[in-house]
Amino acid sequence: MDILQNVAVVLVSYNEKNERGTVVSASGSTATLNASTLRKAGLAVRRKDRLHRIDSRLRPGCPMVVNIQKTTKPNSDRVISVTAPKKQPSQLKNLPVDTRGIGLVSKWFPEKSFGFVRVEKLLDSEGNPFDLNEEVNDLFFHRSDIKPDLLAQKDLMLLGEEVRFTVMPNSDGRTKAKIMARQ
């Protein structure tokens, strides 16, 4: 079996129920994309027997670079690795104090007491959504930024969980998330 490396493809579809998708290259060749490949690339995480997509860029039309394992059977080529699509950084500057948001915990390092929230939606103080014209970086949070009653829970496993947070200024001028509740 041959392996095609660094093939530019576009995501055609992804079915979260059966955890399979299809990508197509510029030449029209298709390959299957499965959940385990997305997890290895950090684009998805499994929690409680359910796949959580943690990268909002993973939608039909999303460009990516993949390695494809070619097979002899028709329509059975499969993606074996993915390079995550590039995102443009944003520091969420000029947001009003106490902007609220909803997102997924994309990374959590309990031994280091910090993690990151992938921003899904931002709301102003009246609950109106902000129009995010740009791709937003994950927001940093420290263990001390987690509401105390959440920390007291025995099953505190944040990775892959949807949470509500408040955007706060950090001491170095950037923004951080204060985790308020599980969604």
CATH code, domain with 24: 2.40.50.140
Q: Is 144 helix (H, G, I), strand (E, B) or coil?
A: helix
When divided into structural domains, the chain yields a total of 2
> pLDDT digit string (tens) for 63-97?
788 888 888 876 678 888 787 655 544 555 566 66
> pLDDT digit string (tens) for 117-141?
888 888 877 778 876 655 566 788 8
Residue whose token pair is 């280091």: 112
- 150 pLDDT more than 50: yes
In a domain, 91, yes or no: no
d(CA 96, CA 116): 21
Q: What angle do CA 32, 108, 163 make, to 5 degrees?
A: 85
d(CA 44, CA 83): 13
110 or 85, higher pLDDT? 110
Burial class of residue 21 (count of CB atoms within 10 Å of its CB; 0-12, 13-18, 19+): buried
How far is C-alpha 178 from the geometric centre of its chain's CA atoms?
18
In a domain, 31, yes or no: yes
The mean per-residue pLDDT over the stretch 53-65 comes to: 69
**Which residue range(s) make up the domain with 37?**
3-83
Burial class of residue 82 (count of CB atoms within 10 Å of its CB; 0-12, 13-18, 19+): buried
